[in-house]
Amino acid sequence: MKFLHTSDWHVGKTLKGRNRLEEQAGVLREITQIAVGNDVDAVLIAGDLYENAAPTADAQRLVVRTLLQLAKQDIEVVLIAGNHDHGATLEAYKPLMDIAGIHVYGQARPAAKGGVHSFRAKSTDERVNVAVLPFLSQRYAVRAAEIIANTPSQNVGAYDQLIRDVLDNLTGAFTSDAVNIVMAHLTCTGGVFGGGERAAQSIMEYHVPAAIFPVEAHYVALGHLHRRQTIPAACPVHYSGSPYAIDFGEQNNTHVVCLVEASPGTPAKITDIPVTAGRRLRTIEGTVAQLTADPAVYGEDYLRLVITQPAYAGMRDDLLEALPNALEIRIHPDHASTGATAGIATHQPTKTPAQLFSDYCHSVGVSDDRVTALFNHLHDDLTRSTARS
């Protein structure tokens, strides 16, 4: 049987205030065309369909339309919630989605209560078992009291053990006569960031080793890290990566969907199929004269400009007039000054909230792992609820 593995659509994502819904629609159309053109039995979407937990009506309309188009082609559609999605809301629509042939898993559940989605492949009539593991926040792995009392390494162990326990339960339902698949939204130890992930829900206590996946799995379809990559393990463990550049940190990534062919007792064959509909993100460096000499060379690319000359009054207006797709303008540190820089950022490294909090603690003489762990816990709660507040 054949299936398509994709993840991290982040529909509704804007970039420096620029609406990207039309671009995202093009990406999803291309994914649908790839699925139909390769006559796949299923499409597995490993989380983060949306950019935030309260997507706009237009974002939801685009995603639902795409899922229905796939289902109408007699393709089994299976999806899980990521850390950007609101799992409970996805669960609320599950009964309706099931009727449409779209199988939604917003929250983790044991195998006996629907944690393994099984179906027959239309092309071969082979049985397929998909163990589904939506994103699990650390607060479900370690109670608040344990976060206060435990050391960071103990908390890592607790999260690791929770994921192991859940997977042991789910994969216990695997059968030798079927294609057995794990689909999860999480960070594997040693995985490389794509550049646009939420650090607070990707590192700290949130990573697990790929060794937790059983050798019986024909394929492990992961979401969360935006870079296409394979994680060494006893079975095939793959991140499909995001199908377009989510942020400038991902401008050099390769964007694909994974076409997987598998049969019971046969190793999976994985083929990367490029997704080209997304607009390219580019960081370019030079003086104003150099950057604006030939605007046509940048095409429709979104640009981040790094200016290698001192700022002057009206510089931003000059640049945007010539390069309307410039979404960010920075002054190179070697040329930064205090004058005439309104609306232009200096090119300084961006620190994560955790790093900023660590710097503050150091400045006031506080060194306590429990305080750091509590901050991480509170930041996790905030980042998951901001879009709903």
If asked whether residues 268 and 307 sit together in one domain, one would say no
In the chain, what percentage of residues exceed pLDDT 70? 85
If asked whether residues 97 and 125 sit together in one domain, one would say yes
If asked whether residues 210 and 317 sit together in one domain, one would say no
If asked whether residues 201 and 240 sit together in one domain, one would say yes
Residue finishing a domain among 346, 365, 380: 346
If asked whether residues 91 and 16 sit together in one domain, one would say yes
Angle at 304 between CA 303 and CA 305, to 5 degrees: 110
- Structural domain boundaries, residue 375: 353-388
Band (pLDDT 50/70/90 cuts) for residue 197 is low
**Alpha-carbon distance values, 87 to 108, 178, 318 (Å):** 9, 28, 45
Q: Residue 388: what pLDDT?
A: 43
Residue finishing a domain among 240, 274, 308: 274
pLDDT in tens, 273-331: 999 999 999 999 999 999 999 999 999 999 999 999 998 999 999 999 999 999 999 99
Q: Residue 202: what pLDDT?
A: 47
Q: Residue 198: what pLDDT?
A: 55
If asked whether residues 258 and 117 sit together in one domain, one would say yes
If asked whether residues 340 and 206 sit together in one domain, one would say no
Q: Any idea which of 36-40, 70-74, 289-293, 373-377 has the lowest mean pLDDT?
A: 373-377
Q: Any idea which of 88-92, 180-184, 258-262, 374-378 has the lowest mean pLDDT?
A: 374-378
In terms of Cα–Cα distance, which of 65, 64, 76, 93 is closest to 35? 76
Q: Any idea which of 49-53, 142-146, 215-219 has the lowest mean pLDDT?
A: 142-146
Number of domains comprising the chain = 3
If asked whether residues 118 and 266 sit together in one domain, one would say yes
User: Residue 20 in contact with residue 14, Cβ under 8 Å?
Assistant: yes
**Alpha-carbon distance values, 100 to 72, 76, 133, 149 (Å):** 8, 10, 22, 47
Q: What is the CATH number of the domain that holds 126?
A: 3.60.21.10
If asked whether residues 7 and 89 sit together in one domain, one would say yes
Residue finishing a domain among 219, 241, 274: 274
Q: Taking all residues of the chain, what is their mean pLDDT, rounded to a whole number?
A: 87
If asked whether residues 224 and 113 sit together in one domain, one would say yes
Which distant-in-sequence residues (6+ apart) come within 8 Å of 336 by Cβ?
311, 346, 347
If asked whether residues 249 and 381 sit together in one domain, one would say no
If asked whether residues 363 and 340 sit together in one domain, one would say no
